[in-house]
């Protein structure tokens, strides 16, 4: 159905759909603010940055197609628009534009490279939380035989995949929704790596993997249970699925969520009747957010001198939000799932 939408109209629907989600809070904005033409653009500039198209034609186009309407000065979805958004958010995804912007800016930024060295111990153009200590812990937990063939789901621009490959001797296929990230990944000179653009909401591979890893990516699944099921079905019998998973709760949230046996991911695995093991790395996660925020505060002038304040701002608003998160409302784990042989 979405083939009659222009690229501008697709972006407009994605922005409107995300306008009242937690991404508004990162910007210090109320979720309940009215969606006006200008406020949607402001939101789009903050999250899509250099990927934001000229949306001037999108508003009349979508109105004509009866996918949006204006009510009391605010733009809202019609029923058809809401279902069109849900479809688009799983296929095209909001994140693709966000991450295309991030990877296109960060790969050229010396300040960002230094920031990664200081926060993660090595510049692998990271976006998630895993520093080299956590990555080594993942590899020790996995204990991969050299030559095993695996998937890195949400590989970003491939530098983490390259790091994992060189330390394990395994072969990897890295996939990510961001074409910008994959373009950069394909330039890595390592014959044991291959990359392709792929959406974890619709995974399909021609051969099964010995293992699948996912570094801080499962949060972005449209349907976590479906993505985990797809991962397990793309493993050979006896294969391993392993991932990093952080869990946040707010004041109304239920404490047991923060136990490794009861996070959002653990719940999915239990529903799938899939036994699992985990390691608790909550303290490493808490330290990470504080360090990230502090390094960013220290390095603002470096980003500014490069003309990269938009990138600084993008990284800072997330780090600052989570550095302030109450320590006992947050937990972090590495999970390992062994598919029965």
Ligand X SMILES: C[S@@+](CC[C@H](N)C(=O)[O-])C[C@H]1O[C@@H](n2cnc3c(N)ncnc32)[C@H](O)[C@@H]1O
Site of interaction with ligand X (CB under 6 A)? 93, 95, 99, 126-128, 130, 154, 156, 160, 176-178, 181, 199-201, 215-217, 220
Query: Six-digit token pair at 103?
Result: 């990877």
> Rounded to the nearest 5°, which phi and psi values hold at 39?
-70, -30
Closest residue to ligand X in the complex (CB): 128
Please, what is the minimum distance in Å from the beta carbon of residue 179 to ligand X? 10
Smallest gap, in angstroms, from Cβ of residue 51 to ligand X? 12
Rg of the chain over CA atoms, in angstroms?
A: 20
Alpha helices in 150-248 (DSSP H): 159-168, 179-185, 224-233
DSSP letter for 65, please. T
Both structure tokens of 89: 């958010």
Nearest distance from C-beta of residue 130 to ligand X, angstroms: 5
- Can you tell me the distance from the alpha carbon of 265 to that of 335, in angstroms, rounded to the nearest whole number? 9
Helix residue spans in 192-281 (DSSP H): 224-233, 264-271
Smallest distance, ligand X to C-beta of residue 124, A: 7
Residue 123 or 279 having the CB closest to ligand X = 123
| Complex with ligand X: residue 26 or 78, whichever CB lies closer | 26
Q: Which is nearer to ligand X, 55 or 119 (CB)?
A: 119
Distance between CA atoms of 138 and 245, rounded to whole angstroms?
12
Write down the least CB distance from residue 198 to ligand X, Å.
6
Q: Which is nearer to ligand X, 78 or 137 (CB)?
A: 137
């Amino acid at each position: 159905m979405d083939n009659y939408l222009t690229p501008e109209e697709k972006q407009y629907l994605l922005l409107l759909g995300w306008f009242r989600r937690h991404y508004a809070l990162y910007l210090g904005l109320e979720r309940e603010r009215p969606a006006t033409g200008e406020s949607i653009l402001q939101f789009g500039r903050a999250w899509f940055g250099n990927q934001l198209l000229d949306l001037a034609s999108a508003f009349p186009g979508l109105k004509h197609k009866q996918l949006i309407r204006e009510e009391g000065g605010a733009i809202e979805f019609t029923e058809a628009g809401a279902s069109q958004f849900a479809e688009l958010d799983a296929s095209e995804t909001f994140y693709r534009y966000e991450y295309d912007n991030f990877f296109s800016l960060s790969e050229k930024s010396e300040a960002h490279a230094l920031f990664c060295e200081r926060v993660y111990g090595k510049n692998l153009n990271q976006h998630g939380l895993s520093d080299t200590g956590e990555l080594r812990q993942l590899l020790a937990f996995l204990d991969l035989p050299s030559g095993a063939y695996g998937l890195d789901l949400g590989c970003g621009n491939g530098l983490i995949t390259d790091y994992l490959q060189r330390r394990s001797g395994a072969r990897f296929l890295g996939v990510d929704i961001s074409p910008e990230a994959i373009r950069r990944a394909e330039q890595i000179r390592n014959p044991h790596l291959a990359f392709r653009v792929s959406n974890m909401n619709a995974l399909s591979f021609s051969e099964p993997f010995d293992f699948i890893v996912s570094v801080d990516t499962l949060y972005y699944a449209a349907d976590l249970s479906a993505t985990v099921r797809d991962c397990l079905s793309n493993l050979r019998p006896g294969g391993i699925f392993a991932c990093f998973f952080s869990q946040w709760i707010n004041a109304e949230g239920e404490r047991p969520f923060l136990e490794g046996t009861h996070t959002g991911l653990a719940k999915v695995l239990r529903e799938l009747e899939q036994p699992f093991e985990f390691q608790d790395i909550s303290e490493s996660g808490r330290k990470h957010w504080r360090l990230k925020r502090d390094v960013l505060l220290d390095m603002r002038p470096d980003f500014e001198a490069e003309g990269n304040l938009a990138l600084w701002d993008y990284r800072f608003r997330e780090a600052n939000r989570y550095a302030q998160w109450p320590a006992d409302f947050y937990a972090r784990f590495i999970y390992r799932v062994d598919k029965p042989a």
